[in-house]
Amino acid sequence: MDISKMQEQVTYFRDNLMKKQNQTLKINIWLSLFNKIESLDLENPETEKAISRAYSALYDYITDKPTDRKARRTYMMAYDDLVRHLKKTYGLIVKGAFLSISMAVGIGVGILTGLLTSTVETPQYALTVALGMILGVAVGNLIENHYDRQGKLI
């Protein structure tokens, strides 16, 4: 597995794809992964297999079948398998994972608080949902900053 060649190709994809395609295919996460890969144990055959499988699916999808839904699904499944493997084996977390989870929990807490504290005359749903979301974003950022300081955020 030639990591430098993969990194060069993914950089080429990032430069030549539209912004929405880069976000959908998670190209920036690939580049972060390549920066972290030096510290990973590539002697682990499962890691090498997961990276190769996801990269091959990405390459096939972009170069051969950009309109094929099955090829996109194959890539996304291989990518998810890679992320799960990296989390299980090395404790690496994808940027934004905790932020989205904590924001959803914050909105839920905001809705619940709004239902419990509002009256018929003064509904407070909008205020409590907004405060819950802000609280969720703050907690998510704290967690992600913690993982980033440990070097476990890709």
pLDDT tens-digit series, residues 44-91:
778 778 888 888 888 888 877 667 778 778 888 888 888 888 888 888
Write out the residue range of the structural domain in which residue 111 sits. 97-149
Beta bridge partners of 153: 93
In this structure, the answer to whether residues 63 and 127 fall within a common structural domain is no
In this structure, the answer to whether residues 59 and 10 fall within a common structural domain is yes
Among 90, 105, 132, the domain boundary falls at 90
Rounded average pLDDT over 92-119: 85
Whole-structure pTM over 0.75, yes or no?
Answer: no
- Distance from C-alpha of 28 to C-alpha of 26, rounded to nearest angstrom: 6
In this structure, the answer to whether residues 67 and 134 fall within a common structural domain is no
In this structure, the answer to whether residues 64 and 121 fall within a common structural domain is no
Residue 151, number of CB atoms within 10 A of its CB: 11
In this structure, the answer to whether residues 75 and 104 fall within a common structural domain is no
Classify residue 96 as left (phi > 0), alpha (psi -120 to 50) or beta.
left
Structural domain contains residue 154: no
pLDDT of residue 52: 82
pLDDT of residue 119: 67
Whether 26 and 96 have beta carbons less than 8 Å apart is answered as no
In this structure, the answer to whether residues 138 and 64 fall within a common structural domain is no
Structural tokens at position 74: 């194959």
Whether 31 and 14 have beta carbons less than 8 Å apart is answered as yes
Q: What is the largest CA-CA distance in the chain?
A: 66
Split into its structural domains, the chain has a count of 2
In this structure, the answer to whether residues 55 and 106 fall within a common structural domain is no
